[in-house]
Amino acid sequence: MENKDKQNRKLWGGRFSSSTSSAMDDFNASIRFDCRMYKEDIEGSIAHAAMLGEQGIISDEDAKLIVKGLHGILADAEAGKIEWSVEAEDIHMNVETLLTERIGEAGKRLHTGRSRNDQVALDTRMYVRNAACKAAALLLEFRSTLVSVAHANLESVMPGYTHMQKAQPVTLAHHMMAYEQMMRRDTNKFMNAAFAAASSMPLGSGAIAGTTFPLNRMRVAELLRFTDISENSMDAVSDRDYILDAIYACSVLMMHLSRLCEEIVLWSTGEFGFVTLSDGYSTGSSMMPNKKNPDAAELVRGKTGRVYGDLTALLTCMKGLPLTYNKDLQEDKEALFDALDTVTACLTIVNSMMAEAAFNTERMAQAAEEGFTNATDAADYLVKKGLPFREAHEVIGRIVRDLTREGGGIASLPIERLREYSPLFNNDVYKIISVKMCVRRRNLPGGPAPDAVMKTLESAAKDILAMRKIIMICDGFVDSAPRE
């Protein structure tokens, strides 16, 4: 009798004559992690109930009672007054059980024309839309920090690297704006890919084949601020591409943050000495009193792998699933939540770390003078004097080869010595190959010259402002719960 009573408490228990094991209850339950979608679940249910009433599928009185009860549950949940039950399995059944306990028989009518399959598809889409806006907003803050660092360092010359070897002189501003470009693309991935992919409303798809009730799906989409409705019920309940898009956006962002943090780790070494991180974002050694470790940057670099793991886990989960819904899809949420939580934490830390970092621009300028970073400009000088580039390349290569043994830079050689390599050298070469001039003369769009970087700064500022307006509009859409 005890088992029967227990089973009867399951909202799907009519088909079963005995209860699931306690181990299965625990294994099957997702409430431990999907409880964070309580707001999305309740708002979706409010819209569904309102539509059911408008369509005459349930009475207007029951619809109003359901909506009022759901608002009460939402208020209590936001106040931390609700203890979610593992026995009720997931957030959907928890909310429905609570509703029925509070308002009685009317609560049992909420699920009319609906399945947990299309319900969870709705909840996760709403969650992704909201999370995409929040991630994009954090990205705008970080992009603004990068722009500020760049503004302050338009003339700060430093070496640029290829293959981790000094290549050509650039500026710290140009270097920072390379990362701003990455973050700009990341912002677009969250808003133009993840948010957009999640903007089709799936409710009304039922478990697999819709429902015979005359639902007004467009009305639910309107109440929940979706742009359109899904066109195929089978795809709607089994599609998780929008979650993959969100985790992919997280993964690429983490890759970009990891690249930046790798450079910060290198730059903070004594060998480079380009940057000193603030004490607030560094740690010490329990044994060596001299140490100041860039742990914030290292942790971000390390956490990149876990986000890649979230993407790989869900891709692997999805690859063998037949249509339509399978319980495997319960694995989508933990991967999504972990990726978004990790990105949120990392963006917050990196933004503050970079805002408080002190850049040693004198050491950067000194490093730019070393390593023959002006060699390409010396070759270009000979080309402009009439020498074919391939021959000019060979001349400068011989100079660098000899100076590597002798010491010194190209500009340290007297004009007589330079003419031993090519009679085309004149005294004007020294101005041309100064590292500051090397930077200033690269004034093409996208180049490191201060004037060119200023244009990218202006472009970034415009894009940040425009994207902030878009996020505010989209966030206003997803944060508007349907009311009574």
Residues with a catalytic annotation lie at 163, 285
List, in order, residues 6 or more apart from 427 with CB less than 8 Å away: 415
Q: Which amino acid is at 352?
A: S
Separation between Cα atoms, residue 203 and residue 112, nearest integer Å: 12
Residue 211, phi-psi category: left (phi > 0), alpha (psi -120 to 50), beta (remainder):
beta
Residue 402 near residue 412 (C-beta atoms within 8 A)? no
C-beta separation of 339 from 310 below 8 A: yes
On whether the CB atoms of residues 265 and 292 are closer than 8 A, the answer is: no
DSSP state letter for 293: B
Measured CA to CA, the distance from residue 346 to residue 340 in angstroms comes to: 10
3-state secondary structure (DSSP) of residue 249 = helix
Q: Please give the Cα distance from 399 to 333 (Å, whole number).
A: 60
- Please tell me whether residue 466 adopts helix, strand or coil conformation: helix
Q: Distance (Å, rounded) from C-alpha 360 to C-alpha 356?
A: 13
Burial of 271 from C-beta contacts in 10 A (0-12 / 13-18 / 19+): exposed
